[in-house]
Chain A
Amino acid sequence: MISYTFTDKLTGKASRLSSSKSANFTVSPAFGFNSDIDTGFSGVQGTLGISRFPGAKYFYGNVPAAPPAVPAGTVMPIFCLKPTLPIGSPGVANLGNFFRQMRPGQMATIYQEAEHDGYTEAQIKAAHATASTVFDQNAPKGCRYVQCLMTWDASGKSAHGPLNQWVATRADGSPLDMYGFDTYPNTATSPAGSVLDAALAELKLVVPSPVIGITECNYTTDLTGGITYTAGTQAQWFKDAWSWASAHNCLTFISYFLTAHGVPWPPVSATLTELSAIAKASGL
Chain B
Amino acid sequence: MAAPVISSITFDQATYAPGAKVTATVNYTAGTQGTPLVFSDVATDKATGLSGSLSATFMVVQPDSTTHAASDSGGRAWTQVSDSGTVAVFTATA
In the complex, the answer to whether A28 meets B16 with C-beta atoms within 8 Å is yes
Scan residues 23-77 of chain A and give those whose CB is less than 8 A from a CB of chain B: 23, 25-28, 30-31, 52-55, 73, 75-76
A252 nearest in chain B by CB position: B18
Q: Is A14 interfacial (CB-CB < 8 Å)?
A: yes
Known: A26-B15, A283-B20. A12 touches B72 (CB 8 A): no
In the complex, the answer to whether A19 meets B70 with C-beta atoms within 8 Å is no
Q: Is the interface of A mostly helix, strand, loop or mixed?
A: strand
B22 nearest in chain A by CB position: A25
What CA separation (Å) do A76 and B16 show in the bound complex? 14
Q: Is A1 interfacial (CB-CB < 8 Å)?
A: yes
Known: A9-B69, A11-B69. A21 touches B9 (CB 8 A): yes
> Nearest Cβ distance between residue B55 and chain A, in whole angstroms?
24
What CA separation (Å) do A281 and B17 show in the bound complex? 9
In the complex, the answer to whether A23 meets B20 with C-beta atoms within 8 Å is no
In the complex, the answer to whether B4 meets A12 with C-beta atoms within 8 Å is yes
Contact of B66 among A10, A283, A284 (CB under 8 A): A10
How many residues of B are counted as interface, with CB atoms below 8 angstroms from the partner's CB atoms?
Answer: 43
What CA separation (Å) do A12 and B68 show in the bound complex? 9
In the complex, the answer to whether A15 meets B19 with C-beta atoms within 8 Å is no
Contact of B15 among A18, A75, A283 (CB under 8 A): A283
In the complex, the answer to whether A12 meets B31 with C-beta atoms within 8 Å is yes
How many residues of A are counted as interface, with CB atoms below 8 angstroms from the partner's CB atoms?
Answer: 40
Contact of A54 among B17, B26, B90 (CB under 8 A): B17
In the complex, the answer to whether A10 meets B17 with C-beta atoms within 8 Å is no
By a CB distance below 8 angstroms, the chain A residues around B16 are 25-28, 283
In the complex, the answer to whether B94 meets A27 with C-beta atoms within 8 Å is yes
The digit string for A129-167, where 1 denotes a CB below 8 A from any CB of B, is 000000000000000000000000000000000000000
By a CB distance below 8 angstroms, the chain A residues around B1 are 12, 15, 17
In the complex, the answer to whether B88 meets A27 with C-beta atoms within 8 Å is no
Known: A20-B6, A23-B11, A27-B94. A8 touches B18 (CB 8 A): no
The digit string for A236-265, where 1 denotes a CB below 8 A from any CB of B, is 000000000000000100000000000000
Q: Is A22 interfacial (CB-CB < 8 Å)?
A: yes
What CA separation (Å) do A18 and B31 show in the bound complex? 9
By a CB distance below 8 angstroms, the chain B residues around A23 are 9-11, 24
By a CB distance below 8 angstroms, the chain A residues around B34 are 15
> Which residues of A pack against B, CB within 8 Å?
1-2, 4-15, 17-23, 25-28, 30-31, 52-55, 73, 75-76, 105, 251, 281-284
> Which residues of B pack against A, CB within 8 Å?
1-6, 8-11, 13-20, 22, 24, 26, 28, 30-34, 64-74, 76, 78, 88, 90, 94
Q: Can you name 13 A-B residue pairings with CB atoms under 8 Å?
A: A4-B73, A12-B30, A13-B65, A14-B33, A14-B64, A15-B3, A17-B1, A17-B2, A28-B15, A75-B18, A282-B15, A283-B15, A283-B17
